[in-house]
């Protein structure tokens, strides 16, 4: 079993992973080896993949010591992203959440150099005020404990995902999450120096969640983003006029046929190794 804990090869500026790591159907050979104790699941997952989006922080934060333990369980080069707490993103006035933002980030900063982007997800049905969102974005720190901090917005209200919002995100160097889902609005507009995509179309009939052709297509899109290009086969609201600077890319297989998502992420990483 020791060979299973060798870190996955790192593709420069490309981070591929899943949402969370505690999921019973992944045990018993589906993803986690039969007999692997639960306390070592993060250690194993972080060596099969190169990133994990922490979903549990949406519902409740952890003690700094827990974040530090997660940091120490993962290999060099591995990166977490994390969903921001629900209590912040559902606040009636986002501009008044500065104290809560700082408390959350102060705690999760104990992930150290394993901490990647923070995702601020606004659910569908939420009516957002543009001035309030602008004031909220101004509260998001760009550095924490001397390290750069990145932020991504997931907008699920189609009416708010417009050219003005894209311009606002670009002003603050905040990424707009590309949610590849039939249930949410999709816009792949580049607004930051990194790209964040949540891929939500895994199907049970495919062992790797996605057919090979679609995984190859996502590899090509990720490569285009990394090289400073903008894939034109994805929907846009306000596309940039020309090729821009190279971007760091974060891709997560989320939800849908969740039990297939680790296989999808591993297959995509293997495609990178064939380049």
3-class SS string, the chain: CHHHHCCCCCECCEEEEEECCCCHHHCCCCCCCCCCCHHHHHHHHHHHCCEEEECHHHCCCCCHHHHHHHHHHCCCCCEEEEECCHHHHCCCCHHHCHHHHHHHHHHHHHHHHHEEEEEEEECCCCCCCHHHHHHHHHHCCCEECCEECCEEEEECCCCCCCHHHHHHHHHCCCEECEEECCCCCCCCCCCCCEEEEEECCCCCCCCCCCCHHHHHHHHHHHHHHHCCCCCCCCCCCCCCCCCCCCCEEEEEECCCCHHHHHHHHHHHHHHHHCC
Measured on CA atoms in the order 223, 227, 233, 234, is the torsion positive or negative? Answer: positive
- 131 burial type by CB count under 10 A (0-12 exposed, 13-18 middle, 19+ buried): exposed
d(CA 21, CA 150): 22
Angle at which helices 41-48 and 261-273 cross, to 10°: 40
* Among 71-80, 96-105, 174-183, 236-245, the least confident range: 236-245
Reply yes or no on whether the pLDDT at 1 is more than 60.
no
Cα distance between residue 191 and residue 229, in whole Å: 13
> Percent of the chain having pLDDT more than 90?
86
| 42-51, 149-158, 163-172, 232-241: least confidently modelled range | 232-241
Torsion angles phi and psi, residue 90, rounded to 5:
-105, 5
Report the C-alpha gap between 216 and 212 in whole angstroms. 6
Confidence of residue 3 (pLDDT cuts 50, 70, 90): low
pLDDT of residue 241: 64
Q: Compute φ and ψ for 35, nearest 5 degrees.
A: 95, -10
- Mean per-residue pLDDT over the chain, rounded: 93
Ranking 5-9, 76-80, 149-153, 231-235 by mean pLDDT, the lowest is 5-9
pLDDT of residue 273: 80
The mean pLDDT value for 179-199 works out to 94
- Per the model's pLDDT, the better-predicted residue between 114 and 243 turns out to be 114
pLDDT at 242 over 80: no
Residue 275 confidence class, pLDDT cut points 50, 70, 90:
low
- Residue 170 has a CB neighbour count (10 Å cut-off) of 17
The token pair at 145 is: 């404990």
The confidence band for 245, taking pLDDT boundaries of 50, 70 and 90, is confident
pLDDT at 136: 98
Which residue ranges form the domains of the chain, and what is each CATH number?
2-273 (3.20.20.410)
215 pLDDT more than 90: yes
Q: Decide which of 211 and 6 is more confident.
A: 211
């Amino acid at each position: 079993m020791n060979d299973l804990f060798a870190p996955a090869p790192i593709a420069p500026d490309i981070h591929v992973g899943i949402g969370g790591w505690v999921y019973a159907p992944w045990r018993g050979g589906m993803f986690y080896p039969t007999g692997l104790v639960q306390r070592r699941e993060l250690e194993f997952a972080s060596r099969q993949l190169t990133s994990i989006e922490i979903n549990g922080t949406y519902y409740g934060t952890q003690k700094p010591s827990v974040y530090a333990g997660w940091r120490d369980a993962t290999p060099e080069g591995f990166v977490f992203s994390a969903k921001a707490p629900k209590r912040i993103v559902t606040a009636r006035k986002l501009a008044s959440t500065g104290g809560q933002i700082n408390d959350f980030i102060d705690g999760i900063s104990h992930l150290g150099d394993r901490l990647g982007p923070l995702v601020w997800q606004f659910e569908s049905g939420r009516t957002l005020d543009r001035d309030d969102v602008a004031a909220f974005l101004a509260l998001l720190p760009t550095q924490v404990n001397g390290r750069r901090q990145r932020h991504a917005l997931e907008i699920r209200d189609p009416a708010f995902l417009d050219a003005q919002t894209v311009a606002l995100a670009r002003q603050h160097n905040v990424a707009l999450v590309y949610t590849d889902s039939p249930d949410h609005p999709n816009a792949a507009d580049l607004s930051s120096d990194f790209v964040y995509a949540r891929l939500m179309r895994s199907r049970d009939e495919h062992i790797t969640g996605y057919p090979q052709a679609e995984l190859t297509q996502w590899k090509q899109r990720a490569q285009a983003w990394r090289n400073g290009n903008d894939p034109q086969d994805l929907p846009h609201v306000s596309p940039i006029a020309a090729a821009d600077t190279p971007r760091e890319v974060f891709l997560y297989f989320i939800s849908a046929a969740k039990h297939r998502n680790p296989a999808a992420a591993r297959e995509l990483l293997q495609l990178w190794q064939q380049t």
